Amino acid sequence: MIRIRWDQMVRKQDAISTFVLKLRALRSKLRTWNHTEVGNIHLRKHLLWEKIEFLDAQEEDKNLLIAEREERARLKRDLDLLLEQEEALGRQLSRVQWLKHGDRNIQFFHTWASNRRRKNYISELSYQGTQITDPRQMHSYFRDHFMGILGRSEEPCVRTDWKVLYPEESLPSRDLEASFTVEEVKAAVFDLASQKSPRPDGFHLPSTSSVGTLLKQT
Whole-angstrom CA distances from 141 to 22, 144, 152, 173 are 26, 5, 17, 37
What pLDDT was estimated at residue 194?
Answer: 61
What pLDDT was estimated at residue 75?
Answer: 92
- Give the C-alpha separation, 174 to 137, whole Å: 42
What pTM was computed for the model?
0.42
Q: Average pLDDT per run of 10 along the chain, which is 218 residues long?
A: 69 71 80 77 85 89 89 90 76 61 60 70 80 85 79 62 68 64 78 60 53 56
What pLDDT was estimated at residue 214?
Answer: 55
Q: Which helix (H) or strand (E) holds 94?
A: helix 66-94
What pLDDT was estimated at residue 70?
Answer: 93
**Domains of the chain by residue range:** 122-154
- Give the C-alpha separation, 85 to 39, whole Å: 12
CB-based burial label for 77 (10 Å; 0-12, 13-18, 19+): exposed
